[in-house]
Amino acid sequence: MKLVFAILSTEDAPLVNNSLTQAGFQVTKLATTGGFLKAGNTTFLIGTEEDRVEEVLDILRRQSRRRIQKMPNPNNGNGILNPYPIEVSVGGATVFVVDVDRFEKL
C-alpha cells in the first residue's frame, strides 16, 4: 500500500477532488498555505494500492496545471519598491509517494 501526498493550488482542488473520487479513490483534503507566495494550497492524502499509484499521478497531471501569475516585485533591499510586477510559475502539483507499513480502518 502507498500513501500519496499531493500539494496543489486551491484553484485546482475541486477538479482534482472530483476526478479522484470518480475514479474510486478515497481522498482526505487539507487546507494548507505555501511559503513562497503565501497563497492557499490544498494537500490531498490518497491511500491506494501500489498498482494504482500511476492512475493517481495521471489524474494529478491532467487536472492540476501550471500557469504564470504576476505578483508585486519585492524591493531590492534599499526600501525602494520596483513598480514592475514579476511573473512566477504557479500551479501544478508537488507529490510525495511513501510506503505504508500498516493500514487499519477502525
DSSP state of 103: -
At 82-91, the pLDDT tens digits run 677 777 666 6
At 41-81, the pLDDT tens digits run 899 999 999 999 999 999 999 998 777 777 777 666 666 66
So what's the pLDDT on residue 18?
97
> Helices marked H in 1-106 — which ranges?
13-22, 53-63
At 2-45, the pLDDT tens digits run 999 999 988 899 999 999 999 999 999 999 887 655 667 899 99
Q: Which CATH number fits domain 2-99: 3.60.20.10, 3.30.70.120, 3.30.1330.60, 3.50.30.60?
A: 3.30.70.120
